[in-house]
C-alpha cells in the first residue's frame, strides 16, 4: 500500500535550490495522488504542528528564489529521544505517513531517528558546503561557488589595479570543496583547504615569488573556512613578500541569491525522486548523486560513509595557476 499523506521540510542552514526541491516534492506528490503538507521551520514545525496542506499553486514562482519558502531552523528540542517521539506522535496524529527532509548530515540523522520512530523519511542533500560523504553534489553548492567566484572577480579588479595580494576566505565548514573549485575558477595562486596541510614558505611565499618573476603583480589566495585565519595570513604575507595584502571574509552572502540552473535542476530531480520513493513505500533512504546520476541509498549506510578529498584536482589546480 502506498503512503497517502506526506510532508516536506527544510532543515539546518538554508541553501539556494531548496525551493526547487520543495516544489518538485509537492508537485510530484500531488500528481501521484498523495496529499502533501508543508512543514515550517524544519523539525520545529513537526513539534509545533506548524504544518499546512499545499496545492499545486502553493509552490508557484518559488523555483527562482533563494533561501527556503518553508523557512528553516536548527532544533535542539527535536534532537532528544523525547523530541523524536513527540514529532512521530504528531505526524501520526496529523496523518503524515512520510517526510521528505531537505538538509545536511545533521538533518539526515534526524530523518533516520524519525524513521525508527515509525515515520518513514527520505533525505535530500541540501547544503552549500558539499560536505555530505554519500553524494557527489549537494543542492546549493553551485550557487554558493558562483557567488564566491563573482565576488572574487570583483576583488580581482581592485587587487590588479593596486598590484596587491588578496587573501579570501570562502565558506565550506570542514570541507575544502568550495575553496578548491572557487580557487580553480578564479585562478588563485594558492588554495588552502583543511584536508591538505600547507607550508607557508613553500606553498604561498615561494609560489608568489616564482610567478612574480614571470611578470605577475597581483595575487589571489583562496582559503577555506575550515582553515581560516586570513587576517593573520595577510599580515604574514605582506611582511614576508613586501606585497601589499588585504584579507576578505566573504561571509553569509554566499548562502543566498537566486539559484543557478544546476541547483534548480538538481533540486527538482532530487525532489522528484524523494517523493517517488515515499510514493512507493520506501523510507530511510537518502537521494544522492553518484557517477553523475541521481540515485538513492540507505540513510544509515550513507551516514557511515567518509568523504574523500579530490587530491588529483587539487594538484591540477596548482599546476595551472602559475
* Helix-then-strand count for the chain, H and E: 11, 11
C-alpha cell at 267: 533540486
> Alpha carbon 280 to chain centroid distance?
27
How far apart are the C-alpha atoms of 69 and 67, rounded to whole Å?
7
Instruction: State how far the Cα of 315 lies from the Cα of 195, in Å rounded to an integer.
Output: 13
d(CA 168, CA 151): 10
Q: Residue written as cell 538513492?
A: 296
Only one residue has cell 510532508, namely: 7
| Options 129, 142, 263, 276, the catalytic residue | 129
Nearer to its own copies, 60 or 304 (CB): 60
Report if residue 215 touches its own copies, rule: CB under 8 A: yes
Size of the site for its own copies (CB under 8 A): 84
Of 119-127, 191-199, 207-215, 278-286, the segment contacting its own copies by CB under 8 A is 207-215
Q: Cell 549537494 belongs to which residue?
A: 138
Please give the residues from 162 up to 201 whose contact with its own copies meets the rule CB under 8 A. 162-163, 166, 181-182, 184-187
225 binds its own copies (CB under 8 A): no
Cβ nearer to its own copies, comparing 197 with 293? 293
For the record, the C-alpha cell of 207 comes out as: 609560489
14 lies in the binding site for its own copies (CB under 8 A) = yes
Is there a binding annotation on residue 26?
A: yes
Which residue's C-alpha cell is 579530490?
310
Asked if residue 258 binds its own copies (CB under 8 A), the reply is yes
222 within 8 A of 191, measured Cβ to Cβ: yes
> Closest approach of Cβ 215 to its own copies, in Å?
5
Residues 105-144 interacting with its own copies (rule: CB under 8 A): 136, 142
Active site residue 129: yes
Contact at 8 Å (CB) between 6 and 280? no
> 20-39 mask for its own copies (x: CB under 8 A)?
---xx--xx--x--------
- In the bound state with its own copies, the residue whose beta carbon lies nearer, of 120 and 256, is 256
43 in contact with its own copies (CB under 8 A)? no
Tell me whether residue 271 is annotated as binding.
Answer: no
Give the C-alpha separation, 137 to 178, whole Å. Answer: 11
Binding residues for ADP: 23-27, 156, 213, 216-218
Binding residues: 13, 23-27, 74-75, 104-107, 127-129, 156, 164, 171-173, 213, 216-218, 225, 246, 252-255
State the catalytic residues: 129
Amino acid at each position: 500500500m502506498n503512503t497517502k499523506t506526506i510532508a516536506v521540510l527544510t532543515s539546518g542552514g538554508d541553501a539556494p535550490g531548496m525551493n526547487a526541491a520543495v516544489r518538485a516534492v509537492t508537485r510530484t506528490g500531488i500528481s501521484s495522488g498523495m496529499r502533501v503538507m508543508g512543514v515550517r521551520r524544519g523539525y520545529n514545525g513537526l513539534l509545533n504542528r506548524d504544518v499546512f496542506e499545499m496545492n499545486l499553486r502553493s509552490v508557484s514562482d518559488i523555483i527562482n528564489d533563494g533561501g527556503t519558502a518553508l523557512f528553516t531552523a536548527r532544533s535542539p528540542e527535536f534532537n532528544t529521544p523525547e523530541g523524536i517521539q513527540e514529532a512521530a506522535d504528531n505526524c501520526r496524529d496529523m496523518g503524515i505517513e512520510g517526510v521528505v527532509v531537505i538538509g545536511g548530515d545533521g538533518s539526515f540523522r534526524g530523518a533516520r531517528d524519525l524513521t525508527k520512530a515509525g515515520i518513514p523519511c527520505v533525505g535530500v542533500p541540501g547544503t552549500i558546503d558539499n560536505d555530505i560523504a554519500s553524494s557527489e553534489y549537494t543542492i546549493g553548492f553551485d550557487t554558493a561557488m558562483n557567488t564566491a567566484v563573482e565576488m572574487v572577480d570583483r576583488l580581482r579588479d581592485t587587487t590588479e589595479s593596486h598590484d596587491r595580494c588578496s587573501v579570501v576566505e570562502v565558506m565550506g565548514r570542514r570541507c575544502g570543496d568550495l575553496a578548491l573549485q572557487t580557487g580553480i575558477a578564479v585562478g588563485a595562486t594558492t588554495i588552502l583547504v583543511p584536508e591538505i596541510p600547507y607550508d607557508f614558505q613553500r606553498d604561498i611565499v615561494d609560489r608568489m615569488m616564482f610567478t612574480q618573476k614571470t611578470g605577475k603583480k597581483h595575487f589571489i589566495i583562496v582559503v577555506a573556512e575550515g582553515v581560516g585565519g586570513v587576517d593573520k595570513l595577510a599580515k604574514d604575507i605582506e611582511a614576508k613578500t613586501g606585497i601589499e595584502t588585504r584579507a576578505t571574509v566573504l561571509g553569509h552572502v554566499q548562502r543566498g541569491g537566486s539559484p543557478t540552473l544546476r541547483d534548480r535542476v538538481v533540486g527538482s530531480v532530487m525532489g522528484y525522486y524523494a517523493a517517488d520513493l515515499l510514493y512507493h513505500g520506501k523510507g530511510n533512504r537518502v537521494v544522492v548523486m553518484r557517477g553523475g546520476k541521481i540515485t538513492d541509498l540507505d540513510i544509515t549506510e550513507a551516514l557511515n560513509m567518509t568523504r574523500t578529498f579530490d587530491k588529483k584536482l587539487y594538484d591540477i589546480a596548482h599546476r595551472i595557476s602559475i
